[in-house]
Amino acid sequence: MSGDTSVAGVNCFFQHPAFTIAVQMTTAGESTGSTARPRADLRAEFADCDLDRHLALFYESTATQLDTVAAFLSYGLETGHRCVYLVDANPQSRIENALRAEGVDVAAKRGAGDLASRGASEVYLDEGFERDGTVAELRSGAERSAAEGYEGLWVAGENTWAFDGETSFDEVVDFEVAFDAACPDFAVTALCQYDLRRFDEAAAAKALRTHQQIVYDRTLCENPFHVSPEEYRSEEGGPTPGSC
C-alpha cells in the first residue's frame, strides 16, 4: 500500500496502518487512536514540527475543520505572520468565533492588519480562474507582508470554491502543483482544506499527492503519497512547471 497512489489506494489510506506510520513520523510515542485530539495539541504540533509551506487538511466534520483552522491561524499570528482566511462554505463569523475560542483577539488583529478574510470565489474566480495569476498574487502578497515587517503570508483556504463556476478539479490541482513549483523559497505557508463529504475519491487522491504534509483527525503528519511537481506532471502527462 505504501507506494499505491491510485484512487483505491488513497481511499483506504486514512484507515490503513500506513497512516499510523505517517503520524508516528511527527508524533513519536503518542497514541494514534480515533479519539479527537485537543486543539491545543495540534497547535503544539504546528509549533514543534518543521512545517512545509503547503499543507492540506482533510476533514469529515465542520468541528474538526474549525479546530484545525483556529490552531493553524493562531500559530501563524503568534509567529509574526500576516494571516488571510479564504471563506467559502463557512460564514466569516463562524471562523472568527473559532479564533476567539483559541484566544485570538479578532478585532485587535483585524484592526492592526494582522488578520484578514476574503471570499475564496473572489480570489480564484472573480475574473475567471487563472493559475499563474493566482500564484503571482500569492507571491506579491508575501513580498508586501515581508516589506511591512511580517515574517510572511499565512493563508488558510476553503477549497469548496472549486464547485462554483466551470473550473475543473484538474485545474485546481494544477494550481496546487504550480504553487509548489514556482519560487519555492517565498514566504507563504498555505493550508488547503478538503471536505471529504464533498470531494470524491478521485479528487482526494489527487489532492493527497500534491501536499507534503497533511492534517487528518486533528493530527499533523508527513504524507507518504506526496510526489514532486515534476513527478506529478510527468505522470499526468502535462508540462513541467517552471520555477523562479
- The string of DSSP codes covering 120-166 is HHHHHHTT---HHHHHHHHHHHHHHHHHTT-S-EEEEEEGGGGGSTT
pLDDT band of 148, cuts 50, 70, 90: very high
Please state the domain extents for the chain.
7-234
Looking at per-residue pLDDT, the higher value among 19 and 2 belongs to: 19
The DSSP line for 63-77 is HHHHHHHHHHHHHHH
Q: What is the CATH number of domain 7-234?
A: 3.40.50.300
Give the closest residue to 196 by CA, choosing from 3, 13, 5, 73. 13
- Reduced to 3 states, what is the DSSP secondary structure of residue 244? coil
- Reduced to 3 states, what is the DSSP secondary structure of residue 112? helix
What CA–CA distances, in Å, run from 36 to 156, 170, 208, 240?
Answer: 21, 32, 22, 40
Give per-residue pLDDT as tens, 28-77.
434 434 345 555 688 889 998 889 988 999 999 999 999 999 999 999 99
Give per-residue pLDDT as tens, 15-31.
544 454 444 444 443 44
Answer yes or no: pTM beyond 0.85: no
DSSP assigned state of 218: T
Phi, psi for 115 (deg, rounded to 5): -135, 135
Give per-residue pLDDT as tens, 171-195.
888 888 888 887 677 889 999 999 9
Q: Residue count of the chain, please give it.
A: 244
Percentage of residues in the chain having pLDDT higher than 90: 39
